[in-house]
Chain A
Amino acid sequence: MANPVIRVENLSLRHGARPCAGNCPAMEATTQSAVCPVCGAVWALRDVSFEVWPGEIFGIVGESGAGKTSLIDMLDFRAEPTSGAIYYNGWREGKQPLHDASAEERRALRNSDLGIVYQNPRRALMMGMSAGGNVIERMLAAGERHIGRMRSRAHGHLDHMELGDRMDVETMTLSAGMRQRVQIARALANRPQVLLLDEPTTGLDLSVQARTLDLIRKVQRELGLTVILVTHDWGVLRLLARRAIVLKAGRVVESGMVTQLMEDPQAPYTQLLVSSAL
């Protein structure tokens, strides 16, 4: 069997002004809270491990504050792990922690290997630029300098997202659902290996949500993408993902097949989440 695309090993992230020595040993006593009772440091993630296999859609579930965004931030190089490591098989054959990469290598990885779709499109998109320009910016960052070639590629990506005719429209004028799809097209611009979806359909109305999910699924199948899907929505998870972990207070409380998590949730927290789903 092939190697996992992404391997996360005992990943921890701590925020705190004066944290205790030895990675807050007092934390071992509790699993309910992310705050160290001794020094007050917040463990946004603690000892999280999982593997993502090629071509799969892997889900990360949890309420807000569970540590989902911290995980994405680390994959996106916007935060450094306190301990533990992420290994990516496209960098140093997955043998060296990803955060050993230099600033320049990180930029290259973010440009070519990783595509991110944020919950809030404003975080990724330049609203004053055209939809096509937002997609093309990624290609420019990767060193492409031919407008004709870039436009035809960008048109292909936007067309996938059913936005081929909005290429030269200012992003500001697009609806929320369209912006989200422009964001996906932008994330796909350089044919990434891994697509990171952070609550991709939260806040969209139901029909737009269904359409976006369908497009994500289609593009994932066609390009054979590996996808990490961060969501709190069990419906979205069930439709897209096969495997998932459940995060609570920065820890993995349960992992397995999505069907298992939904049919037979075992951790109290998962039972609460599943029974709270609409």
Chain B
Amino acid sequence: MTCPPVLEVANLSKTFTLHLLGAREIVALNDVSFALAEGEFLALTGRTGAGKSTLIKTLLHYNRPTGGSVRYRRADGTVLTLADLPVIDLIALLEGEIGYVSQHLSVVPRVGALDLMIEAALHDDRARAEAEALALFERLCLPEALAPVYPVTFSGGEKQRFNLGLTLMRHPRLLILDEPTAALDPATREVVIDLLADLKVAGTSTIAVLHDRVAVDRLADREIEINDGRIMAETPICRKEETVL
């Protein structure tokens, strides 16, 4: 591909220093480098505790890297080095163009699901945001009866899909997902996979931590296997075109 990558991770390292345990050091990431092409779907795989979530949080700078750099290329071609951004700009970036969906839903209590989604929209047009939110509800197979309900009371699978919907309200260019299909039954999983496939067709670049083989095979262009905070293997995934369509 001649197009420059949307995200470039170079020699990323993270060492945690646990001061409460006599300054014990834990190396969580060790010299991780990869690049994500525009519109590419990258799957991160590996055993539990291998460092996949740490990698995601570190490349988003939720964990401050101890070494290496992360560079993000905006739609207009400017390249931002995340570590050099003022915190206020980094926050704007992470709540706008880059969408992160964590494993756990964390929202303001006592606000209805639909209202939360409307608030998440980046524009002020309430009617439009409501229409978009309802469309996402339908797309994610969330029953419409749940719209006014507080998400704290949702089931695990509902929470997970709602969390994804919340991020999609902002139409991110780069989507970073932490196990988006973990708590879902096979049928609902298909719904999420279909949605992600559609986003990919629409040009969204994605990095996803996936355990689920089916999802990897259906979605990923490339698979990176992480173990012990390092890249163990990098495999392009070849599949017949009709599988995608």
* A56 part of interface (Cβ distance < 8 Å): yes
B64 x A266 contact (CB < 8 A): yes
**Nearest CB of chain B from residue A218's CB, rounded to whole Å:** 9
Residues of B within 8 A of A242 (CB): 91
A257 x B110 contact (CB < 8 A): no
Interface of A is mostly: helix
B63 x A263 contact (CB < 8 A): yes
Residues of B within 8 A of A213 (CB): 108-109
Q: Which A residues between 234 and 256 are near B, CB-CB below 8 angstroms?
A: 238-239, 242-243, 255-256
| Complex Cα gap A203–B63 (Å) | 32
Residue of B87, B88, B109 near A210 (CB, 8 A) is B109
| Complex Cα gap A271–B22 (Å) | 12
Residues of A within 8 A of B17 (CB): 266
* A264 part of interface (Cβ distance < 8 Å): yes
Residues of B within 8 A of A275 (CB): 20
| Complex Cα gap A271–B21 (Å) | 11
Q: Given that A238-B106, A242-B91, A268-B19 are contacting pairs, would A259 and B111 also be in contact in the complex, using a CB cutoff of 8 Å?
A: no
Residues of B within 8 A of A239 (CB): 108-109
| Complex Cα gap A271–B61 (Å) | 17
B87 x A243 contact (CB < 8 A): yes
A263 x B19 contact (CB < 8 A): no
Q: Given that A214-B108, A271-B18 are contacting pairs, would A56 and B64 also be in contact in the complex, using a CB cutoff of 8 Å?
A: no
Give the total of B residues in contact with A, Cβ under 8 Å.
20
Q: Given that A213-B108, A238-B106, A271-B19 are contacting pairs, would A264 and B88 also be in contact in the complex, using a CB cutoff of 8 Å?
A: no
* B57 part of interface (Cβ distance < 8 Å): yes
Residues of B within 8 A of A266 (CB): 17, 64
* A122 part of interface (Cβ distance < 8 Å): no
* B182 part of interface (Cβ distance < 8 Å): no
* A53 part of interface (Cβ distance < 8 Å): yes
* B228 part of interface (Cβ distance < 8 Å): no
* A151 part of interface (Cβ distance < 8 Å): no
* B90 part of interface (Cβ distance < 8 Å): yes
| Complex Cα gap A210–B20 (Å) | 31
A256 x B19 contact (CB < 8 A): no
| Complex Cα gap A7–B88 (Å) | 14
**Nearest CB of chain B from residue A104's CB, rounded to whole Å:** 34
Residue of B18, B64, B106, B110 near A260 (CB, 8 A) is B64
Residue of B90, B110, B119 near A221 (CB, 8 A) is B119
Most central of A211, A213, A264 by chain B CB within 10 Å: A264
A260 x B63 contact (CB < 8 A): yes
Residues of B within 8 A of A153 (CB): none
Residues of B within 8 A of A214 (CB): 108-111
| Complex Cα gap A243–B87 (Å) | 8
Residues of A within 8 A of B88 (CB): 53, 56, 243
Residues of B within 8 A of A217 (CB): 108
| Complex Cα gap A274–B222 (Å) | 37
**Nearest CB of chain B from residue A233's CB, rounded to whole Å:** 13
| Complex Cα gap A242–B62 (Å) | 12
**Nearest CB of chain B from residue A5's CB, rounded to whole Å:** 12
**Nearest CB of chain B from residue A235's CB, rounded to whole Å:** 9
Residues of B within 8 A of A211 (CB): 110
| Complex Cα gap A21–B63 (Å) | 42
> Of all chain A residues, which has the CB nearest B119?
A221
Residues of B within 8 A of A56 (CB): 88
**Nearest CB of chain B from residue A270's CB, rounded to whole Å:** 9
**Nearest CB of chain A from residue B36's CB, rounded to whole Å:** 22
Residues of A within 8 A of B106 (CB): 238
Residues of A within 8 A of B91 (CB): 242-243, 257
> Of all chain A residues, which has the CB nearest B23?
A268
* B72 part of interface (Cβ distance < 8 Å): no
Q: Given that A257-B87, A268-B20, A271-B18 are contacting pairs, would A263 and B108 also be in contact in the complex, using a CB cutoff of 8 Å?
A: no
Q: List 16 A-B contacts (CB under 8 A).
A: A56-B88, A210-B109, A211-B110, A213-B108, A213-B109, A239-B109, A243-B88, A243-B91, A260-B61, A263-B57, A263-B62, A264-B57, A268-B19, A268-B20, A271-B19, A272-B20
Which A positions have Cβ atoms within 8 angstroms of B?
A: 53, 56, 210-211, 213-214, 217, 221, 238-239, 242-243, 255-257, 259-260, 263-264, 266-268, 271-272, 275
The 7 A-B residue pairs with the shortest CB-CB distance in the complex, in nearest-first order: A268-B19, A264-B63, A210-B109, A259-B62, A263-B62, A210-B110, A242-B91
Given A257-B90, A259-B62, A275-B20, 16 extra CB contacts under 8 A? A56-B88, A214-B109, A221-B119, A238-B106, A239-B108, A239-B109, A243-B91, A255-B87, A256-B64, A257-B61, A260-B63, A263-B62, A264-B57, A266-B17, A267-B19, A272-B20
